[in-house]
Structures are given as structure tokens and as C-alpha cells.
Amino acid sequence: MKCPYCGKINNKVIDSRLSKDGRMIRRRRECLACGRRFTTYEKLEELLPMVVKKDGRRENFSREKIISGIRKACQKRPISMTRIEEFVDALELQFQESGKKELSSTDIGERVINELRDWDEVAYVRFASVYRQFRDINEFMSELERMLKSRQETPAE
């Protein structure tokens, strides 16, 4: 492992710990050249399905891309990064366990939008406006009206 401070590759592992979920190992290392310490994380390389986009293109599954989209929708909303990461972890695990070689971007988007609907209405509307690609204000208003109608039909808890 290359030292982030001096760039040398000679270092030793001082401490190793398993993450809470048991899917990652955290290692504290000490550079033998400069003596500084740094942390690395080791996890199993997982085989994830390819994502088939709406236009037919295929690309690698990217948890970072999903997290980025959710973070943008949740900006300045009371939703923690921990909650977002836990959701994406669970989503990633479902896709791995499905055994599918390909997965549609629509399936990913629908799962995200359904989760956001439960979390926060503003985050949901933000994500929906990009994901559903509203062409004009009327489409946007129709979605808001559907949301308001479903809120009225659902009894308060």
C-alpha cells in the first residue's frame, strides 16, 4: 500500500478490525519510511450486475452514482448520510443476491424514488423531477397532485 504522505510502499499493519456489518476490514498502517500512520479499508470485490440504461447503453453498477443522486435530492433536508449509505448498502446487497447479470436503470430509479417518498416529500419531488424528466410544469403539477391525493387517502399515524 502506497503511503499517502511520502509515496513509499513499505509499511506495516499496526491494527486490523472488522466493520460492524462484517463486510469490510479497517487497517491502521505505519509507513516505514516517514513513520506516519494512515488507515486503509479492505473489502471483498463483489460482482454486481451491469446497468442497462434507458437508451440501451450498458455501464458498470456505481454505488457512488446512486449516493450522489440521493444526496442532491436530500440536500438541506433532515436525512443523514448514514441513512443514505445504509439504504444503498441494502440495495447493493439485493442486487448481488439476485444473481442477475443485468439490471435496468429504471428498476434502480424506482427503488430509490419509493424510498425517498417514505423519507421526505421534498427530497422525493427533487429526485422525481430529474428521474421522471418532466417536460413542463403541468407534468410536475400532476405528480404533486398525485402525491397530495395519496397523502389525504393515507390515514395519519
4 occurs within a structural domain: no
**Does the predicted TM-score (pTM) go above 0.85?**
no
Q: What mean pLDDT is predicted for residues 102-125?
A: 91
Residues paired with 28 in a beta bridge = 15, 39
Are 70 and 139 within one domain? yes
Task: Please tell me the distance from the alpha carbon of residue 61 to that of residue 138, in angstroms, as a whole number.
Answer: 33
Cα 121 vs. chain centroid, distance in angstroms? 19
Range of the domain at 69: 50-153
Q: Which of 27-36, 95-104, 125-134 has the lowest mean pLDDT?
A: 125-134
Residue pair 129/69 in contact by the 8 Å Cβ criterion: no
60 occurs within a structural domain: yes
Whether 117 has a pLDDT exceeding 60, the answer reads yes
Are 35 and 54 within one domain? no
